[in-house]
Amino acid sequence: MELVCPAGNIDKLTYAYAYGADTAYIGLKRFSLRIKADNFYEDEYKRVIELKKKYPQKRLFCALNIAFHNHDIKMFMQNLDYFKQYPIDAFIVQDLGMVPILQKEFPGTHLHLSTQASCMNKEAVKMYHSLGFKRVVLGREVSLDEIREIKDACPEMELECFAHGAMCIAYSGRCLMSAYLTGRSAQSGFCSHSCRWEYDVTSCHDEFLTSKNSRSTGSSPHPCGSQLEELNRNGGKISAEAAKEIAQSGILRLQERQRPGEFFPVFEGEDFTAILSSKDLCMIDHLADMKKAGVDAIKVEGRMKSTYYVAMVSRAYRKALDALEGKISAEEAAPFIASLEDVAHRESTTGFYYNRGDADKTTIGASDSPYLLAAAIGNPYSDEECEKILAAGQKLVADREAELLAMHPSAREAVLRDLEQHPEKVIKTVEKREGWKVYPYDALNRVDAGTELEFVSPSVLGRKVLGSEYEFINPKTGEKLDWVNADHDCAIYTAVPVEENTLVRVKDPDYREGEIRDRGR
């Protein structure tokens, strides 16, 4: 099976490819359901072209999966020349109005049907095949048994299914809740993730009390009056039958905690309906069943997720697929699969694949991880460049000594006293060490020198690097750094082996296993 992974920007695309994705899917500004992802624009197509040259066997899909309005189509047509510069292998669309446009303007590019189209039966798949679609991303509500029926009925159509990532309480992701609550339509790419917010469930007690008091005037009593009285008498405890009557009465309502006074009605039908916050999908232990069902490609959700998420999840599924195909042993794959626990995630489920009840189970809290992504490490500087960096540091020290010598004795004494009182002002440089190399260090979070680091890469599960095994250095001045942060000029000097596309992570000091942290929205 093909592994299709998300790429919200050029860096994530790089790591998706490097960490095992066969294919990555991107969005273009304004035409993707993940508008808030960085997406691709301006001259980034040049970097994408270079990446495709580096990974010639990898493919690139482009999500054009919004519901197009007339003005959207007009804007798309105005940007055709720009889009044609990307080496796109397939477009993922839900809007049939785009089909003839794409077939005319991109005759060599495949068409894939988005999951937003909710295609879940063999007759629909046959119809889309007749329209020229190469692949269907099936609606997430389809079961493995149904996938097998679809594949048997239309074997020439490629079937792609989600295997991992966040889900929402909506039909195949077609959600109106965000638009209802915030005016930001998920179908235009502006989802506010309203289903993840915190809600209180209340009942219309005022209405109940009013109806109770009005009995003396001859008005009809509240239809759930006896149930609400039971609820109040028993301190919130109530029989299952009474709870069902209340749930189906329409008197329950939701209040979002940051929107006091705004109420939204809740009605539960005959069958149990989960409300709002779904679990994350995870099928990594069931890939053999997906393959047996006829799935051609598995998909990871997450164009808005972090670089760390993209890399770690891509790697885990790559190893799992390699084990399934006999390229590596199950024992070799196991620790990489287990490392999914190190990535921000919520409780997991198998969704609709086996049992609808699995998809109906909800959860609470934000996704969390015990690690923070600290940095990305680039390819090593050449020996000549390393010598220049070290020499720059030596020159910096020599210049400072010469400057002190040129000072009046009293001034020099004052400066030396200040340096003694403030040792952080003393220029420090690294010593040349045999076997050590200098690597570009793209800092993403603050890390103090001496902190224990952990290197992860496509083939290295996690290599601990002690504080004594590296030094931070400014590659422009050669000065040793006590700490690094984003946007600082920084390199790392170490003898620890560094594989290409290595990421650096550190333990999150605020992480507490089993606790749910409020990370905002």
pLDDT tens digits, one per residue of 438-459: 999 999 999 999 999 999 999 9
User: Which region among 62-66, 138-142, 509-513 has the lowest average model confidence (pLDDT)?
Assistant: 509-513
In angstroms, the CA 490 to CA 335 distance is 32
| pLDDT classification of 39: cutoffs 50, 70, 90 | low
Q: What is the pLDDT of residue 247?
A: 65
Q: How many CB atoms lie within 10 A of CB 19?
A: 24
Q: What is the pLDDT of residue 174?
A: 60
In angstroms, the CA 448 to CA 503 distance is 17
Q: What is the pLDDT of residue 178?
A: 64
In angstroms, the CA 22 to CA 14 distance is 12
| pLDDT classification of 128: cutoffs 50, 70, 90 | very high
Q: What is the pLDDT of residue 521?
A: 42
Q: 119 near 129, Cβ under 8 Å?
A: no
Question: Residue 511 carries which DSSP code?
Answer: -
Q: What is the pLDDT of residue 310?
A: 96
Q: 136-175 b/e with 16+ CB inside 10 Å = b? A: bbbbbbbbbebbeebbeebeebbbbbbbbbbbbbbebbbb
* One-character DSSP codes across 174-204: B--HHHHHHS--GGGT----GGGS-EEEEE-
In angstroms, the CA 210 to CA 492 distance is 71
Q: How many CB atoms lie within 10 A of CB 503?
A: 23
Q: Which residue in this structure is represented by tokens 């992701």? A: 173
* DSSP H helices in 154-204: 177-182
Q: What is the pLDDT of residue 215?
A: 47
Q: What is the pLDDT of residue 5?
A: 97
Phi, psi of 325 (to 5 degrees): -90, 0
| pLDDT classification of 206: cutoffs 50, 70, 90 | very low
| pLDDT classification of 346: cutoffs 50, 70, 90 | confident
**Does residue 271 have a pLDDT over 50?**
no
**Does residue 276 have a pLDDT over 50?**
yes
Give the closest residue to 26 by CA, choosing from 273, 425, 304.
304
Higher pLDDT, 255 or 7: 7
Q: What is the pLDDT of residue 28?
A: 78
pLDDT tens digits, one per residue of 485-508: 998 899 999 999 999 999 999 999
| pLDDT classification of 470: cutoffs 50, 70, 90 | very high
- In 297-340 the beta strands, taken as DSSP E runs, fall at 297-300
Q: Which residue in this structure is represented by tokens 């047509």? A: 77
pLDDT tens digits, one per residue of 151-205: 999 999 999 999 998 877 666 666 656 655 676 666 555 666 666 666 676 665 5
Higher pLDDT, 510 or 110: 110
| Residues pairing with 375 in the sheet | 443, 504
Judged on CB neighbours under 10 Å (0-12, 13-18, 19+), 434 is exposed
Question: Residue 342 carries which DSSP code?
Answer: G
| pLDDT classification of 515: cutoffs 50, 70, 90 | low
Q: What is the pLDDT of residue 510?
A: 86
Q: Which strands, in side-by-side order, build the sheet including 371-377?
A: 463-465, 453-456, 503-507, 371-377, 437-443, 491-494, 470-473, 480-481
Q: 375 near 444, Cβ under 8 Å?
A: yes
Between 383-405 and 409-421, two packed helices, what is the crossing angle to 10 degrees?
Answer: 130
Average pLDDT, rounded, for the chain: 84
pTM as predicted: 0.81
Q: 490 near 484, Cβ under 8 Å?
A: yes
Collect contacts of 246-249 with beta carbons under 8 A, ≥24 apart. Answer: 246/203, 249/223, 249/224
Q: Residue 347 contacts by C-beta under 8 Å, 6 or more apart in sequence?
A: 279, 280, 363
| pLDDT classification of 511: cutoffs 50, 70, 90 | confident
Give the closest residue to 316 by CA, choosing from 335, 294, 297, 288.
335
In angstroms, the CA 88 to CA 261 distance is 48
Q: 71 near 78, Cβ under 8 Å?
A: no
Q: What average pLDDT does this structure show over 350-361? A: 81
Q: What is the pLDDT of residue 264?
A: 63
In angstroms, the CA 386 to CA 392 distance is 10
Percent of all residues in the chain with a pLDDT value above 90, rounded to a whole number: 55
Give the Å distances, CA to CA, from 240 to 228, 230, 231, 317: 13, 12, 11, 42
Question: Residue 348 carries which DSSP code?
Answer: E
- Residue-level length of the chain: 521
Judged on CB neighbours under 10 Å (0-12, 13-18, 19+), 453 is buried
In this structure, the strands spanning 437-443 and 371-377 are antiparallel
In angstroms, the CA 487 to CA 478 distance is 17
Q: How many CB atoms lie within 10 A of CB 94?
A: 24
Give the closest residue to 438 by CA, choosing from 469, 403, 475.
475
Q: What is the pLDDT of residue 365?
A: 60
Q: 64 near 28, Cβ under 8 Å?
A: yes
Q: What average pLDDT does this structure show over 43-63? A: 94
Q: 375 near 290, Cβ under 8 Å?
A: no
